[in-house]
């Protein structure tokens, strides 16, 4: 008994010493690992700043292996993979993060956002849609809905696009009324193409309600009325369009003239078009007036327009006039229009790098080569 007690007195200090030594060893190893992780991280950051992404990725992978619980390194690595176009590796990194049970809620949302961005960049839109939906109700809800809106526009899913746009509008993140009107107009066009007139009219009504001042619903309304044999109501819709949106009215100026001729309102339409032409000189209005005058554009009106705006479009109208009606003024206006259109196209092009300039250079400003500009100008289209 006395022997066992002596061994106990000897064993306790020895066990304590061994435990203390083991703990010190573990602490040194842990400290060394933690020192290695930041060192690898800063090494990767330095390589990234020096535009050496391949070596930077290797350094970040080493850092993640030394400390797999470091979420920020995972995010940095995933973003690097995505920027380099290695979408599969980026997806694996962010999926690994989402699979961790100890991940904080904020980091989990960030990982879900990064995964959705990976799918978008990779063109996996069905998976991206599901990933964006998973972010609804999170701090990234607004960003997710905007991304979904872009997805639905790209896939021309106008019903869903309109639904998401209304959600964003109600959330107060800005006005989406104009977009909603466009989506409803797209739905109206689709319904008309498939012979569903009632659905098209309902979509146009929703478009006008969403954005009463938007030009497209008025434009489409007039076109639908004209196609259905109602030129007078079509003129009324387009008169409103002309007053509110003179620029958008140019898209239907020719149809406006046809509707006026069909409804016996040519004189009123001519006055309206002349008033519009005075406010906004445009070839489309000249052509519309020509339709009312039997198809021929008035020469004096055309020459006046060419003097104000010497464009190729107006010059092309002048070429439709019989040459025997031309005057010296007409020739001068035509030459001015062609010269103005040709001037920005006449360029010198470097044979080495393709840099174009309106002035001749003995040394190319782009590649700095000497005598690389041929002295002959080209018409660059």
Our measurement of the distance from residue 286's CA atom to the centroid of its chain's CA atoms, rounded to an integer in Å, reads 34
> 363: which strand partners?
370
> 349: which strand partners?
356
Task: Please answer whether residues 90 and 82 qualify as being in contact, where contact means their C-beta atoms are separated by less than 8 angstroms.
Answer: yes
Given a cut of 80, is residue 60 above it in pLDDT?
A: no
- Within the chain, what is the greatest distance between any pair of CA atoms? 139
Q: Quick one: the chain helix, strand, coil %, rounded to 5?
A: 75, 5, 25
Which of 325, 330, 332, 374 has its CA nearest to residue 354? 374
- Cβ neighbors of 146 (< 8 A, separation 6 or more) are 168
pLDDT tens per residue, range 166-176: 999 998 878 99
What are all long-range contacts of 54-63, with beta carbons under 8 Å and residues at least 24 apart? Answer: 56/80, 57/81, 57/84, 63/37, 63/38
Q: Could you tell me which residue, 370 or 3, shows the higher pLDDT?
A: 370
Which of 79, 59, 60 has its CA nearest to residue 70? 60
- Comparing 54-58, 153-157, 178-182, 252-256, the range with the smallest average pLDDT is 54-58
Q: How confident is the model at residue 56 (pLDDT cuts 50, 70, 90)?
A: low
């Amino acid at each position: 008994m006395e022997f066992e007690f002596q061994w106990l007195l000897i064993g306790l200090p020895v066990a304590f010493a061994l435990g203390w030594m083991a703990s010190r060893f573990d602490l040194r190893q842990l400290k060394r690992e933690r020192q290695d992780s930041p060192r690898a991280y800063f090494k990767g950051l330095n390589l990234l700043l020096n535009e050496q992404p391949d070596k930077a990725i290797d350094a970040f992978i080493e850092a993640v292996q030394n400390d797999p619980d470091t979420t920020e390194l995972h995010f940095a690595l995933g973003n690097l993979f995505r920027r380099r176009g290695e979408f599969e590796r980026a997806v694996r990194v962010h999926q690994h993060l989402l699979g961790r049970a100890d991940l904080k809620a904020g980091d989990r949302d960030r990982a879900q956002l990064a995964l959705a961005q990976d799918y978008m960049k990779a063109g996996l839109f069905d998976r991206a849609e599901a990933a964006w939906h998973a972010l609804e109700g999170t701090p990234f809800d607004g960003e997710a809905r905007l991304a979904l809106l872009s997805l639905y526009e790209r896939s021309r899913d106008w019903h869903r696009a309109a639904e998401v746009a209304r959600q964003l509008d109600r959330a107060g993140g800005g006005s989406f009324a104009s977009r909603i009107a466009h989506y409803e107009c797209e739905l109206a066009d689709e319904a008309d193409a498939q012979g569903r007139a009632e659905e098209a009219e309902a979509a146009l009504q929703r478009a006008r309600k969403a954005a009463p001042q938007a030009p497209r619903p008025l434009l489409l309304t007039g076109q639908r009325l004209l196609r259905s044999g109602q030129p007078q109501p079509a003129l009324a819709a387009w008169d409103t369009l002309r007053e509110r949106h003179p620029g958008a009215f140019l898209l239907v100026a020719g149809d406006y003239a046809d509707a006026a001729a069909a409804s016996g309102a040519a004189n009123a339409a001519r006055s309206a078009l002349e008033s519009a032409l005075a406010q906004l000189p445009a070839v489309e209005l000249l052509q519309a007036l020509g339709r009312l005058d039997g198809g021929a554009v008035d020469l004096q009106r055309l020459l006046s327009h060419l003097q104000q705006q010497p464009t190729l479009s107006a010059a092309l109208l002048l070429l439709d006039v019989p040459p025997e009606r031309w005057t010296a003024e007409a020739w001068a206006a035509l030459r001015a229009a062609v010269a103005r259109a040709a001037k920005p196209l006449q360029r010198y092009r470097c044979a080495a790098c393709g840099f174009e300039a309106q002035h001749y250079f003995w040394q190319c400003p782009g590649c700095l080569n000497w005598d690389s500009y041929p002295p002959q100008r080209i018409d660059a289209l």
